Amino acid sequence: MQMPKPSMVNYFKQQKVILLLLCVIIGMLIIGEVLAPGFSSFKHIQTILRTASFVGLAAIGQTLVILTGGIDLTIASLITMGQIFGCLFVNASDANLWWSILLILLIGGGFGLISGLGVSYLKISPLVMTLAVSSLVNGVTLISVDGAPKGRASPILEKLGAGSIAGMPSMVWIWLILTLLVVLFLRKTILGRQVYHLGTNDIAARYSGIRTARVRTMVYVLSAMFSVLTGILLAGNTARPFLGIGKEYTMWSITAVVIGGTSMAGGSGGYLGSVAGTIIIIMLEGLLTVISIPEAGRKIANGLIILVMIMIYYRQNKKR
């Protein structure tokens, strides 16, 4: 099978989006520094990046799924599951850490498999399928700890989730490495390009020999695994288990992907945009908190920024 390359037009369009997002980030840093001196200090930027890294990891899965034209609503429940199970299995001992991570990734992947199979083989709408699976995940999480989460993270896990390596939060390193891998995966591997083809034109993808159902299922499995991984790392960040810790992550991840310029219809966009989108929403949240805007105002601002971004993106599409 011949590998179709991304066209130059698409390439420049994507670069333009990233450039625009970078301008937004720099603009916000300047506004932040004016409103609250110290907002753009190296230390505070590190804090922003650490908070953003958790959302960013969750947004990897969401980006992949949205690129295929789907949506993943299981992210919140899977992050909570990862966090609760992380504390439960690791139980403050580094000896338990590695098999725990493996086991949780497998459990998460299993739920991703259910979503993926439902979406690609039973042709259930991803919205409803992942909604149903997220209900399942919530149930399983609650049942397995009987409503009262126990255990705690181990030293290594805490170092990963809350500590620093070489002067930067270790989460930022993890995010950087995973970003690199995901961008390479989407741009340079056959499987990565197939994810785009699924979103652009499912029928054409099938006729050109792509095993669409299999690739689609894989995307949901990957997304679920990234979600539980985020959960495990969050366990390292908080040390103690919290029910409902992942609650906001589904919406955050969708917002990040949309601000990042990935089309909800699938087929265009990329992870770098989502990275910028993640940083923007976390910075906005921080900025509004700094100038003591209540939660109500933060919500309104969040909604408005999404509306403004889609207006910008859709105007670009029209011109094209």
Is 298 a binding residue for other proteins by CB under 8 A? The answer is yes
Residues 132-151 that bind other proteins (CB under 8 A): 132-136, 138-140, 142-143, 146-147
Is 292 a binding residue for other proteins by CB under 8 A? The answer is no
Residue 42: CB minimum distance to other proteins, A: 31
Residue 294: CB minimum distance to other proteins, A: 7
Is 107 a binding residue for other proteins by CB under 8 A? The answer is no
Residue 236: CB minimum distance to other proteins, A: 26
Q: 24 or 160: whose CB is closer to other proteins? A: 24
Q: Under 8 Å CB-to-CB from 196, ≥6 apart: which residues?
A: 6, 67, 186, 267, 268
User: Binding pattern to other proteins, positions 40-79, x when CB under 8 A?
Assistant: -------------------------------x-x------
Q: 15 or 135: whose CB is closer to other proteins? A: 135
What's the CA gap between 43 and 60, in Å, rounded? 25
Q: 188 or 211: whose CB is closer to other proteins? A: 211
Is 3 a binding residue for other proteins by CB under 8 A? The answer is no
Residue 125: CB minimum distance to other proteins, A: 4
Residue of 137, 138, 115, 117 lying closest to 128 (CA atoms): 115
Q: 157 or 259: whose CB is closer to other proteins? A: 259
Stretch of 9-17, 18-26, 160-168, 195-203 contacting other proteins, by CB under 8 A: 195-203
Residues 233-272 that bind other proteins (CB under 8 A): 251, 254-255, 258, 264-265
Three-state secondary structure string covering the chain: CCCCCCCHHHHHHHHHHHHHHHHHHHHHHHHHHHHCCCCCCHHHHHHHHHHHHHHHHHHHHHHHHHHCCCCCCCHHHHHHHHHHHHHHHHCCCHHHHHHHHHHHHHHHHHHHHHHHHHHHCCCCCHHHHHHHHHHHHHHHHHHHHCCCCCCCCCHHHHHHHHCEECCEEHHHHHHHHHHHHHHHHHHHCHHHHHHHHHHHCHHHHHHCCCCHHHHHHHHHHHHHHHHHHHHHHHHHHHCCCCCCCCCCHHHHHHHHHHHCCCCCCCCCCCHHHHHHHHHHHHHHHHHHHHCCCCHHHHHHHHHHHHHHHHHHHHHHHHHC
Residues 204-233 that bind other proteins (CB under 8 A): 204
Is 124 a binding residue for other proteins by CB under 8 A? The answer is yes
Is 297 a binding residue for other proteins by CB under 8 A? The answer is yes
Is 306 a binding residue for other proteins by CB under 8 A? The answer is yes
Residues binding other proteins (CB under 8 A)? 71, 73, 118, 122-125, 127-129, 131-136, 138-140, 142-143, 146-147, 201-204, 251, 254-255, 258, 264-265, 294-304, 306-307, 310-311, 314, 317-318
